[in-house]
Structure 1
């Protein structure tokens, strides 16, 4: 699963994935602030050499933003112990006047993939909702609860007793689902952008 989002790079500390507010690039920014051009160039050269040596030694790895977002999307809904992707900061988009445009920045949080679905993220870059996911099959199990298999291989199971009407969905081959975050880390789903939301849990 891929998102056609601007190819911004971020740096991930290895081997741990969890991040604090510091960046391996901070020493470069500090060099850039030196007023004396000779000292600034010497600082930049030294710091670049140190960063290259640390990267080659495995101290950190450079990862494109779209790669992290794709992994975040692929793991959405799964409970994986000790697995945390780096925080994705809000993308700041300039306005035509050169200042930051809050409208463009907000729009950047919602992206449509080349598979046709749409991902909505909050200001921290975390997924809030995915809509337009193509359905491979729908089935009913115990107590009439629905199992939804998506074209991307994900399997979601209904875990509440909300009645889900499948009659019309079974007569079409272009079903899609929308999944959103709910309370206490749970998720809600609905079929084809209409009808009632029902609580689901991802099993695959």
Structure 2
């Protein structure tokens, strides 16, 4: 009885508060429906909204009161986060705060420009817009137009090398 009263109160909330209802609350409200067919229909509506995140339809739930059957107010659909495209993940490769899903091991690009600072360390700009600064004192004969590979090293480090050669330098992403 107490659960049914709570369900009725949840369903009568104002629309502004209902917009903050999450998936867990939607599932709990479906769980409280006593009629098996209506409960299954409620769960099916939520699952269909998860399968089609493009649709902006609201999920309608129904609850059974001991006296009257009440149709609930519509609640907004919680959309799962969109999968990030591989290009977006590659654009963030080498930045300090990688996302957990951004676990690519290497990128390949053509060198756009190569500059050298006063300490004879290279600043390499790639065609994809990324800039990498040399950290070690190793020599690498790299020129504009060369195709290079940046690989993930140990403990968050990165190694840059020219395709087809074994020589690599330790680098850090600047931009």
Q: TM-score range by the shorter chain?
A: 0.5 to 0.7
Unmatched tracts of structure 2, length 5 or more: 1-22, 50-58, 61-73
Compared with structure 1, are the counterparts of its residues 46 and 159 closer, same or farther at alpha carbon in structure 2 (3 Å cutoff)? closer
* Map of 1:63 onto structure 2: 82
CA deviations 1:45-70 (Å, max 9, x no partner) are 25641797143xxxx5541342xx33
TM-score (norm 2): 0.56
Say which of 158, 161, 172 aligns to 2:134: 158
Which position in structure 1 is the counterpart of 2:111?
A: 135
State TM-score, norm by structure 1.
0.49
Kindly state the Cα deviation for residue 192 of structure 1 after the two structures are TM-superposed.
2.9
Partner of 2:44, secondary structure, is: helix
Q: Secondary structure of the residue that 2:137 maps to in structure 1?
A: coil
Instruction: Give the counterpart of 2:95 among 64, 78, 81.
Output: 78
Residue 61 (structure 2) pairs with residue 42 (structure 1): no
Describe the shift of the 1:37–1:184 C-alpha distance in structure 2 as closer, same or farther (beyond 3 A).
same
**Number of corresponding residues:** 125
Kept in 2: contact 1:128–1:180 (CA 8 A): yes
For residues 138 and 46 of structure 1, what CA distance do their matches in structure 2 show?
A: 54
CA contact (8 A) 1:178 1:193 kept: no
Which structure 1 residue ranges, 4+ long, deviate > 4 Å from structure 2? Answer: 36-39
